[in-house]
Amino acid sequence: MRIVITGGAGFLGHKLAVEILDRDTLTDQHGAKQKVTELVIFDRAAPTVPLADDRVQVVTGDLGDPDAVKLALGGPTDTIFHLAAVVSGEAEADHELGLKVNLDGTRALLDFAGRSGRKPKFIFASSLAVYGGPRARIIDDFTTPTPKSSYGTQKLVCEFLVDDYDRRGLIDGRSLRFPTVAVRPGKANAANSSFISSVVREPVAGRATVCPVSRDVPVALISPNRLVAAVLSCHEVSSDIYGWPRAMVLPAIQVTVADFLEALEARKGPRIRDLVSFAIDPAIEPMVKGWPASVSSDRARALGIATDGGPGEFIEQYLADIGQKS
């Protein structure tokens, strides 16, 4: 079984790759359990933490480069996990780049997958950014998408493309609307939600950070391990059980900065709070307040996808990821 992960050199792509290699088998597009024989990591740069496994092949290149896409998908591919994207803040700042990567790049992958004749599984990383505005604070499987950003619009258009390619029998398409993922290690990225990870990551490292939103603004979150488990749960079920529409909301829990600071204090002592200060950003806070805060999905729960246990679970997972004890 040949699997491709776009954006595979990133944090989530790496976690997904490790889990796939550890499992050793996945369900193919025909419903049969197959051994993973080749795992292609497709990204703009090679992974900083190489995977020491003979089944791994690294392809570096851009989604907009047909030769790179052909090299990544040129073999008999059974599953494509499409995680690569220009993140929210960057897509808003550079509209043309967002369209090129998020929209045109996704279409290029869909075209190649559709022409292969294999009807591969196509797992698309969409986002809760397809929702927005005051009416989208509480969402479920039936909430109408109302994107209020270029990033959310691009993700929603790609969902429609995945639906159409699936309807035509060219792929087995499944779009998953990711909540904000926390806590991410490493440096902050250009996502508008990056402050959520920063208020944990920076104090744990002994560095000060400034939070651009009020401490009591709720955000819908999922942890990295829960997300990877959810992605694979959606991959493993049959197309009929996965159901229609092909876009599915992944459940999340509400967490505020205050919740994270309380959980941090319980594990690292009260002084850690002093490393987080607040300077409300008039552009960021209204945007965050327009994001979904309460998220549920009966479809996902029916597949056994559970939410995280609480703020402390996010902290514990992050500390384990960086090799620290709480």
- The residues annotated as belonging to the active site are 151
Q: Which residues contact 272 (CB under 8 A, 6 or more apart)?
A: 203, 204, 261, 264, 265
* 20 exposure class (CB count in 10 Å sphere: 0-12, 13-18, 19+): buried
* Residues 247/256, Cβ–Cβ less than 8 Å: no
* Residues 223/180, Cβ–Cβ less than 8 Å: no
CB atoms within 10 A of CB 287: 20
Element (H, E) at 283: none
* Residues 68/62, Cβ–Cβ less than 8 Å: yes
* Residues 58/67, Cβ–Cβ less than 8 Å: no
Q: Is the torsion defined by CA of 151, 312, 298, 165 positive or negative?
A: positive
- Measured CA to CA, the distance from residue 61 to residue 56 in angstroms comes to 16
